[in-house]
Amino acid sequence: MQAAVNFALYSSGASGVKLCLFKEADLRSGRLSYEVELDSTCNRTGDVWHIALPQLEANLLYGQLLYTSGFLWTRHHSVVS
């Protein structure tokens, strides 16, 4: 376990962001392990969405869901190490 992992992304058009975390076995089964909805009042500074998550398990996969003007954009990333 780590002390905290910081996530940040830039989006000038996002009206909402969810951080999706997957254990590898859950991803293979098509299941989401954890989902964190970012609050625009405390997890957004200008066009940067950010959050620090304490005590994450190692080797989690992650992705983001971005909401913009009625559209949903997905972006997937590799491992939290």
Rounded Cα distance between 80 and 52, Å, is 13
Could you tell me if 21 and 56 are in contact, meaning their C-beta atoms sit under 8 angstroms apart? yes
Can you tell me which residue has the tokens 């997890």? 43
Answer whether CATH 2.170.190.11 is correct for domain 4-80.
Answer: no
Write down the pLDDT at residue 7. 93
Classify 27 as helix, strand or coil: helix
Write down the pLDDT at residue 69. 72
pLDDT per residue as tens, the chain (81 positions): 458 889 999 998 888 999 999 999 998 998 999 999 999 999 999 999 999 998 888 888 888 888 877 655 555 554 444
pTM: 0.78
Count Cβ atoms below 10 Å from residue 76 Cβ, excluding itself: 11
Domain ranges of the chain: 4-80
Which residues, in sequence order, are CB contacts of 47 under 8 Å at separation 6+?
A: 10, 11, 12
